[in-house]
């Protein structure tokens, strides 16, 4: 069974440019998370989807970040415009029907804003 797939693996952009990350969760997983991880820190939740509904986006900086999960399967996270402080690893994870089931991570996208 395929795991969580993310692309691209690496991205380098200039500040003020837009960038998008894509995630395809494990088949059948209804819950999808986007986390951001800075060096030496744990993952911090940006947004959580249950199917196509964003049920927790309280930590998403909505002035520049947006996300969508059309048809309740794959998801896209966008930053526009990017700032230097957005440099981090963006992780996508998915889990089964209930939040208490374990979450599995994709390989992540390492974003560098210069």
Partner 1 sequence: QKEVEQNSGPLSVPEGAIASLNCTYSDRGSQSFFWYRQYSGKSPELIMFIYSNGDKEDGRFTAQLNKASQYVSLLIRDSQPSDSATYLCAVSNGNKLVFGAGTILRVKS
Query: Rule CB under 8 A: which residues touch partner 1?
Result: 33, 35, 40-45, 48, 56, 89, 91, 98-100, 102-108
3-class state of residue 49 by DSSP: strand
Nearer to partner 1, 27 or 100 (CB): 100
Contact 54, 33 (CB under 8 A): no
Nearer to partner 1, 27 or 41 (CB): 41
Neighbours of 67 (CB within 10 A): 20
Alpha-carbon span 42 to 109, nearest angstrom = 15
CB of 41 to partner 1, least distance (A): 5
E-only strand ranges, 1-114: 5-7, 10-13, 19-24, 31-37, 44-50, 53-56, 65-68, 75-79, 88-95, 104-105, 109-113
CB of 70 to partner 1, least distance (A): 23
CB of 81 to partner 1, least distance (A): 26
CB of 103 to partner 1, least distance (A): 6
Nearer to partner 1, 57 or 81 (CB): 57
Nearer to partner 1, 29 or 81 (CB): 29
């Amino acid at each position: 069974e395929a795991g969580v797939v993310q692309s691209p693996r690496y991205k380098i952009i200039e500040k003020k440019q837009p960038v998008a990350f894509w995630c395809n969760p494990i088949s059948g997983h209804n819950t999808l998370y986007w986390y951001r991880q800075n060096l030496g820190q744990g993952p911090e939740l940006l947004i959580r989807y249950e199917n196509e509904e964003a049920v927790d986006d309280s930590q998403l900086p909505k002035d520049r970040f947006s996300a969508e999960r059309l048809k309740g399967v794959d998801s896209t996270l966008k930053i526009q415009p990017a700032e230097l402080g957005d440099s981090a690893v963006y992780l996508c994870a998915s889990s089964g029907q209930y939040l208490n089931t374990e979450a599995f991570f994709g390989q992540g996208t390492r974003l560098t804003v210069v």
